[in-house]
Structure 1
């Protein structure tokens, strides 16, 4: 028989519960038990620890209840809160001195977690008294948020902050899609943790291949990808069709002339592409929308997790709305983050630097000189899905606390306004409710103002926050 890690836990628990002699022998053998990151344990693990300590109760756990953020993996916040109940006479030591962040950042973190419904009360402090206030930045929309972050990162780098000391954190992987495009446009290299880069996902590549074929009927790479999506078309047939398409004056007629199993699918493809090629309106958002209608049945047939992927394509449509021409849209989405240093910044010894884009879950335990937390808008952070369940909302609060405490010196929290969320039907404009009780003295509140062109920025202090 083979056992995976979960099996080992389950069977160990059964042994400890059902075999008293084995329990006493094992407990006597391991007389002192230390558990790290106890806030991330599940109920089964807690039960195993309790049984292992049957003969001695010599258990020490280390953890931070404020950083319990893995409920989706089975971890339970209650383990660390109920530890004194499981082990009467527990002594609690609070480690409140922080060696990472400046006091202004810790003041904000303390204020955020103070509102938690259940917690061990702590007041983080540090000897790093001085530092800039955390900034809360309002942007006119997602594009404005992305442009501000890219520009600010360039400024920080000119001031001597290495790219690998900068991180952009977000609640969900798709929140960074627009920013990824802007960073590529600015020549800022990055790595992404906790999800694939937007332009590397298969479904985004599929839809964009259709757009590219319309823009350039001689794009053989895109044609090949598009043809393979049609039922009944394999690699050999795709190559044969491609050879005929390149030579034909009317490439769509080649598709209509095919019979057999793939005939109807190729006719539908031809009609879709031809209608877009002959359309007077070549706005990117309309092309993406039209191809999305054609591609959706294919998406549902190919991927079991298509609801998640349709959300990505909705976001692609939102990105397309920010472009007036199809060529600019495709050019920006074709950009790969470069390997070299940032644009207009001399840094011959920094070629290997990458700034980090990461989900907050993937950033736990890490730290950077400068941290941007994006989409700090109610409905995205916390997610609208958490509004109806108090325990989920509390976990979102702890997630926000983790994000804020990744920053050593610079912390920027950005939120776009007047954003329509298709999933919830909400118009998102309000900063996260987790900031409702934060005193204005703890934040530098800014509103972005575009001055002239896309790249000209001004910032005003928001007197109403």
Structure 2
């Protein structure tokens, strides 16, 4: 076994100078300003391991706080690889809830309040009791606003004055929000329930007001590490202060340029003021970017170099450490439908050329943009993973797979080598390695189960029983394995993740920055959000926007944060048409599609695909449409895929209206690409020419 000195040397042997300084800093306050891709998690875990190996403390004495269960799970995994166990690596909410459940019974005179299952439901009840007229969208907004207020340590009695002094846009009249907020607090107390903000508040209150509890917790946890410190809320800082007491053994890690959660109450103030609070604190800057190519790093620096406001004072200048790669490219499409279709085509090409789908991401500003990309990816047979669309371990096929694995523990399968045991157990669910469906929902289910198999491939210790225990641990912590599908995610959901290839889409003013970003501070947060998106890419980055919004008629302009970025495919500068020479984007007109009946311009995707507006009569061959519909249904049944992944309803209508006579004419129908032509052109043209459904479904395709 290696000596302690040998272990310490090994911990820092492969670190750069700045990382080594952060890892080996003496106990006490340490602030690590870590830019994107600079090895933040590596540095933090090695610092914890350094302190434990050196003998300062045991793993059980460390609390490492992250902001997602995935990040906490990754931290625990890395610490285990370094030989350190027992570290309390959790989210703020998870750590607080654990302490509240252990110590809180006395505080509440019995059982602690239950966690409510729906904040919106209680807000709805509170609004009714307060006499405030709402609907579901308003209740959602009210729930978010109440969460912001609670996280900002603003109670119902202070709400009106607080939002007025801050100039904050309230979802309703401030006095009405305050009434609902007060009624919401009363409703929770009557029902003996709590929300996530209460978990933190109750735990902080318990430590602040019960000396015995404070002594127990502070005696157990002596060294604190806080990740993503730029996104801490005042409520979370209150809990952190309660944990610390009068001590100062704390390491914080953050990047002010990635402050993007102010709408939840998060603030970079605590990171920016860290050395003022602790003048003796060690401040270390990590600026060597090991993630992205110099081309991507260069764009990221350009985007953030124009930042203003308090966060700009702590801006980091990233220095790319990788070899040069492809240039960052951009494109302006005619409308959002064309943008989604072209991005999906490029993803399909990358997958055909060997890029794993899991190494590709399409990132957008709002979740509402997801649906169009989901549909286009399905049209090209590309599996997708939508971040924020549901938890991995809650998927029906994953629940079924875990039941099958547990059931196999009582059979001879359990005695087989782990990977063989896992694959054989999963065959009970109908899954077979290599039997890959061609796309759609079945492909997504296959890839989800395949993620468990890949996890088994990486799991070097133990047998099937141990592996099942590992899955149970991951399920309880929501530490999901990587699913091999193209990731579709909002920029907020993408934070902390990275991919080889990233498509940043919808980069038009009005979408990014959103029209709701009215103040200078809000616009600067939108800039930081773009910066987060750019820095998610390792090798390839493609930017795009649509000149027309879906169903819109007014031409849009490129995102203001990119106008001077000199991205290939975008203009060097974008000037409004009445302010000088016409720009490249202005010259690239939307493809004009006019109605075949009234000749009015068509803007809606449905109308453009059909070639006429809703007011003009259809020329559809009803009998052909019926045969196409029956063929699609039978083809979907045989392939085990949803019918819309064969052709959408609108596409079937367009085919029945135009009766294409060749592959070329079929390809002119909006949204039908090479993938669809290769697979279904023969059958479709056979039906157009009067062929029967029974014969059409027997025709071969390339699936």
| TM-score normalised by L of structure 2 | 0.39
CA RMSD across the alignment:
3.3
1:106 touches 1:124 (CA, 8 Å); kept in 2?
yes
Aligned equivalents of 2:554, 2:569: Cα separation in 1: 25
2:365 touches 2:512 (CA, 8 Å); kept in 1?
yes
Residues 167-194 of structure 1 deviation map (CA, whole Å, 9 limit, x = unaligned): 1111111113222222222222222122
> Which structure dedicates a bigger proportion of its chain to helix?
2
2:257 touches 2:315 (CA, 8 Å); kept in 1?
no
2:540 maps to 1:410: yes
2:300 maps to 1:109: yes
Q: Which residue of 2 aligns with 1:34?
A: 225
1:392 to 516, 519, 522: 522
Aligned equivalents of 2:484, 2:521: Cα separation in 1: 39
Q: Which residue of 2 aligns with 1:235?
A: none
Q: CA deviation at 1:63?
A: 1.7
Aligned equivalents of 1:445, 1:437: Cα separation in 2: 10
Q: CA deviation at 1:104?
A: 0.6
2:382 touches 2:439 (CA, 8 Å); kept in 1?
no
Residues 104-154 of structure 1 deviation map (CA, whole Å, 9 limit, x = unaligned): 101111111222223212111222131112112100111210121122112
Q: Which residue of 1 aligns with 2:440?
A: 337
2:477 maps to 1:358: no
Question: In the TM superposition, what are the counterparts of 1:273-288 in structure 2 within 5 Å?
Answer: none
2:336 touches 2:548 (CA, 8 Å); kept in 1?
no
**SS in structure 1 at match of 2:286:** coil
1:98 touches 1:125 (CA, 8 Å); kept in 2?
yes
**SS in structure 2 at match of 1:94:** strand
**SS in structure 1 at match of 2:300:** helix
2:570 to 445, 452, 464: 445
Q: CA deviation at 1:336?
A: 8.1
Q: Which residue of 2 aligns with 1:218?
A: none
Q: Which residue of 2 aligns with 1:125?
A: 319
Q: CA deviation at 1:6?
A: 3.5
Residues 243-262 of structure 1 deviation map (CA, whole Å, 9 limit, x = unaligned): xxxxxxxxxxxxxxxxxxxx
1:192 touches 1:358 (CA, 8 Å); kept in 2?
yes
Q: Which residue of 2 aligns with 1:87?
A: 278
Aligned equivalents of 2:278, 2:212: Cα separation in 1: 22
Decide which structure has the larger Cα Rg and report it. 2
Q: Which residue of 2 aligns with 1:239?
A: none
Q: Which residue of 2 aligns with 1:344?
A: none
- Cα gap change, 1:74 to 1:456, in 2 (>3 Å): same
2:555 maps to 1:433: no
2:272 maps to 1:145: no
Q: Number of residue pairs matched?
A: 304
1:27 touches 1:55 (CA, 8 Å); kept in 2?
no
Q: Which residue of 1 aligns with 2:112?
A: 2
**SS in structure 1 at match of 2:538:** strand
| TM-score normalised by L of structure 1 | 0.58
1:167 touches 1:372 (CA, 8 Å); kept in 2?
yes
2:374 to 177, 180, 197: 180
Q: Which residue of 1 aligns with 2:287?
A: 96
Aligned equivalents of 2:215, 2:551: Cα separation in 1: 57
Q: CA deviation at 1:400?
A: 1.1
**SS in structure 2 at match of 1:378:** coil
Q: CA deviation at 1:84?
A: 2.4
Q: CA deviation at 1:380?
A: 0.5
**SS in structure 2 at match of 1:104:** helix
2:353 to 135, 141, 159: 159
- Cα gap change, 1:437 to 1:92, in 2 (>3 Å): farther
Aligned equivalents of 1:55, 1:40: Cα separation in 2: 23
1:97 touches 1:126 (CA, 8 Å); kept in 2?
yes
Aligned equivalents of 2:283, 2:384: Cα separation in 1: 41
Which segment drifts farther, 101-110 or 389-398? 389-398
- Cα gap change, 1:53 to 1:179, in 2 (>3 Å): closer
Q: CA deviation at 1:67?
A: 2.0
1:109 touches 1:404 (CA, 8 Å); kept in 2?
yes
1:193 to 372, 377, 387: 387
Aligned equivalents of 2:199, 2:388: Cα separation in 1: 28
Q: Which residue of 1 aligns with 2:629?
A: none
**SS in structure 1 at match of 2:530:** helix
Aligned equivalents of 2:370, 2:494: Cα separation in 1: 15
Aligned equivalents of 1:456, 1:55: Cα separation in 2: 65
Q: Which residue of 2 aligns with 1:50?
A: 241
Aligned equivalents of 2:222, 2:541: Cα separation in 1: 44
Aligned equivalents of 1:95, 1:378: Cα separation in 2: 32
1:133 touches 1:444 (CA, 8 Å); kept in 2?
no
Aligned equivalents of 1:128, 1:385: Cα separation in 2: 37
- Cα gap change, 1:159 to 1:84, in 2 (>3 Å): same
2:336 touches 2:550 (CA, 8 Å); kept in 1?
no
Aligned equivalents of 1:414, 1:48: Cα separation in 2: 42
Q: CA deviation at 1:98?
A: 1.7
**SS in structure 2 at match of 1:445:** coil
- Cα gap change, 1:382 to 1:421, in 2 (>3 Å): farther
2:511 maps to 1:380: yes
1:141 touches 1:418 (CA, 8 Å); kept in 2?
yes
Q: CA deviation at 1:61?
A: 0.6
Larger RCO, structure (CA 8 Å, separation 6 or more): 1
